Amino acid sequence: MKFCLLTVADNAEAAKFAFFINHPNQSSDTERNFELKSEQIAKLNPNTQTAPVFRSRSDAALSARIFSEHPVLLNERNGRAGNIWNIQFHTRIWHMSEDVKFFRDANELTTAGFVRCGQSWSDAHEQYLPLYEAKLFNIYDHRATSYSIEADVRGYRVLPQVSDTSHSDPGFESETYYWVPRKEVEARLKKIGWTRKWLLGWRDITSPTNERSMLPTVCPLGGSADTFLLMLPLQANIVLTSGLIANISSMPFDYFVRQKLGGIHLKLNVVKQLPVLPPKFYNENCVKFVVPRVLELTYTSHTLKDFASDFGYSGPPFIWQDDRRSVIRADLDAFYARAYGLTRDELRFILDPADVKGPDYPSETFRVLKERESRQYGEYRTARLLLAAWDRMEASGEFKAMGM
């Protein structure tokens, strides 16, 4: 049974913590014990003033430093100035129970005389758009899974993974279960100030022990189910939003998510209090580095043409190539590791604490990802590619050229 040890000093300026203790003897393990001052807790969680549940001394020290150097996504104590990306957060634009009167499945639309055209259904008076559910998505992938037309043995429709072959077809789209009226979609989004033809959000259901915990996605215009939580940046310079997308999709950011995630839901109160690079960080060279990579990872189907257009790209969708995508993501991960001010050894620790501290160290980060890749590729591929990207960019002077 896990428990924590808490000791508060007499002056109440600092407290000693130890979490994830399975046996009383572990309470004396120096690497499981750490101290946090009140001002450090205020930086780590400025809105709630609560202490995260760290697994180790190194996790606590690294997080305390990064949070002291970088702002959180939305510091409620600073008013409008605390919303550094001018984001509108929305968790329930479409509710799966309360809004069921708007939902139509394919059979209902066919019976009503609607005609299917791509992802939408239309008749002479109305158009229906897909209702996107979070389980359809993954990082940089709005086509990760797709409802199958066939039912499984229990009579429910199933959600198979989309193959690389289907991913490489820019005309392929995931099949949703429901569709909702376009007029209603646009009216609800306009009410909150969003008029673009794409959405940015993240999956609510997750876990600190999954391969990745933060699963953000850009998807085409449509309904957004209540497990796909929206963050809509109302930036005057929309191109800078590529930095926000890449930042929250990066491995370093995911590491900080895991320091605060205690259950299977990644709610708004947690996401608001995560460290991000502000818009002013992105100088001209940073923009030139980030934008084309985010475009190539995101714009893989025709339905995100409007997204590409907003970022100044008018060409065709990029072809899905798994090996190339892995290299591009490693470049971005290395960029954000350096942007956060991590050292190479700190990046190694984030990727695999055992690689730096030894196999018995109490911290755990991306163990499930490492185990899966070791089975699939015979190595921890993500770690190799990320560290190779770091070394290449360090040696070539790319980091220095971007002011890092």
Query: Has residue 331 been placed in a domain?
Result: yes
99 and 64 in a common domain: no
Residue partners of 104: CB distance under 8 A and separation at least 6: 112, 121, 128, 178, 179, 180
What are 73-101's pLDDT values in tens digits? 999 999 999 999 999 998 888 988 899 99
Residue range 137-166: average pLDDT? 79
Mark which of 34, 69, 104 sits at the end of a domain.
69
Model's pTM, two decimal places?
0.93
Mark which of 11, 36, 69 sits at the end of a domain.
69
What are 381-397's pLDDT values in tens digits? 999 999 999 999 999 99
Question: CA 109, CA 94: separation in Å to the nearest integer?
Answer: 19
18 and 129 in a common domain: no
Mark which of 19, 41, 69 sits at the end of a domain.
69
Query: Has residue 377 been placed in a domain?
Result: yes
Query: Has residue 272 been placed in a domain?
Result: yes
What tokens does 250 get?
A: 């990066």
Residue 19: pLDDT band (50, 70, 90) is: confident
Residue partners of 384: CB distance under 8 A and separation at least 6: none
146 and 107 in a common domain: yes
Query: Has residue 170 been placed in a domain?
Result: yes
Query: Has residue 9 been placed in a domain?
Result: yes
Query: Has residue 75 been placed in a domain?
Result: no
User: Is 60 exceeded by the pLDDT of residue 135?
Assistant: yes
136 and 40 in a common domain: no
The residue type of 104 is R
| Structural domain that includes position 55 | 3-69
239 and 388 in a common domain: yes
Please give the residue that has the higher pLDDT: either 29 or 115.
115
397 and 272 in a common domain: yes
Residue pair 17/46 in contact by the 8 Å Cβ criterion: no
226 and 107 in a common domain: yes
What tokens does 66 get?
A: 């990064």
114 and 29 in a common domain: no
9 and 152 in a common domain: no
Query: Has residue 366 been placed in a domain?
Result: yes
What are 285-324's pLDDT values in tens digits? 999 999 999 999 999 999 999 999 999 999 999 999 999 9
118 and 56 in a common domain: no
User: Is 70 exceeded by the pLDDT of residue 3?
Assistant: no
Residue range 3-30: average pLDDT? 69
51-62 CB burial, b ≥16 within 10 A, e <16:
bbbbbbbbbbeb
Token pair 């996504």 is found at 73
If 0-12 CB within 10 Å is exposed, 13-18 middle and 19+ buried, where does residue 330 land?
A: buried
Query: Has residue 383 been placed in a domain?
Result: yes
Query: Strands, E, within 155-246: which ranges?
Result: 179-181, 198-203, 216-220, 223-224, 228-233
249 and 203 in a common domain: yes
Q: Across the strands, what pairs with 128?
A: 121, 181
Find the helix or strand (DSSP H, E) in which 131 lies: strand 127-132
What's the total number of domains in the chain?
Answer: 2
Q: What is the mean pLDDT of the chain?
A: 92
320 and 187 in a common domain: yes
The residue type of 135 is K
